[in-house]
Amino acid sequence: MPLAIDHAFRDPELLRQALTHRSFGTPHNERLEFIGDAVLNCVIALRLYHRFPGLPEGELSRVRAHLVNRDTLARLARGLGLGAALRLGEGEAKSGGADRASTLADALEAVFGAVAEDGGFAAAGHVIDGVFADLLRDADPAALGKDPKTRLQEFLQARRTALPEYQIVATRGDAHAQSFVVECRIGALDLTAKGEGSSRRSAEQDAAAHALAELQAPGRG
């Protein structure tokens, strides 16, 4: 089960359990997810506390909520190749569970929990730092006060460019646990960006974030 995290497990069974969905059997990853959720929130809170010493508690909570949510965790899990390592029941696998945002997010938290159980809080913090490195580096409390769609709209308005259009291009999973894929199209700039989320709104936000990142990339335009 290759996984792109910087931790060598002393007890490989913990990783195996973290990657086991309840549809596959027991022991599954829900108890480790419980640990991982707590450890993740604590680690991110500590990193933000030290990075932004003047930021009040309410703002710290808002930034943390932006960094630690289901869709962000699912995106990070995909980047680690976690979906391919999951152990799923046959029905769950056939219904697209390996790429379902909720399943991926829960499994990533379970992996963090497994690392904490295997190597302690410091080891889990080290792994979380690696997984969240780019997000923590780029975290800007001022920018995080506005969602990606708003920031993209303001970016385009400042350049007198027509606003983007959003369209659902795919849905995945069962009706009760769907994942949406949305395209953000900016015709005037010949740019199309895709995003994914557990709701249409979150998928649109993800697509807007990708579009804005491309527009702000060095050397564009």
Q: What's the confidence (pLDDT) of residue 2?
A: 61
Just list the catalytic residues: 37, 109
Residue 189 banded pLDDT, cuts 50, 70, 90: very high
Protein fold of 148-215: Double Stranded RNA Binding Domain (3.30.160)
CA distance 34 to 38: 7
> 40 vs 1, which has greater pLDDT?
40
Alpha helices in 132-190 (DSSP H): 133-138, 148-158
Q: Is 205 helix (H, G, I), strand (E, B) or coil?
A: helix
pLDDT digits (tens, 9 = 90+) for 4-60: 888 999 999 999 999 999 999 999 999 999 999 999 999 999 999 999 999 999 889
Least confident of 53-62, 175-184, 212-221: 212-221
DSSP string, 36-83: HHHHHHHHHHHHHHHH-TT--HHHHHHHHHHHSSHHHHHHHHHHTTHH
CA distance 29 to 36: 10
pLDDT digits (tens, 9 = 90+) for 60-118: 998 898 889 888 899 899 999 999 999 999 999 988 889 888 999 999 999 999 999 99
- Provide the whole-model pTM: 0.70
CA distance 146 to 159: 19
Determine which helix (DSSP H) or strand (DSSP E) holds 107, and give its type and residue range.
helix 101-119
Distance of CA 155 to the CA centre of its chain: 24
Q: What's the CATH architecture for 12-144?
A: Orthogonal Bundle (1.10)
pLDDT digits (tens, 9 = 90+) for 133-155: 999 988 888 766 578 898 899 89
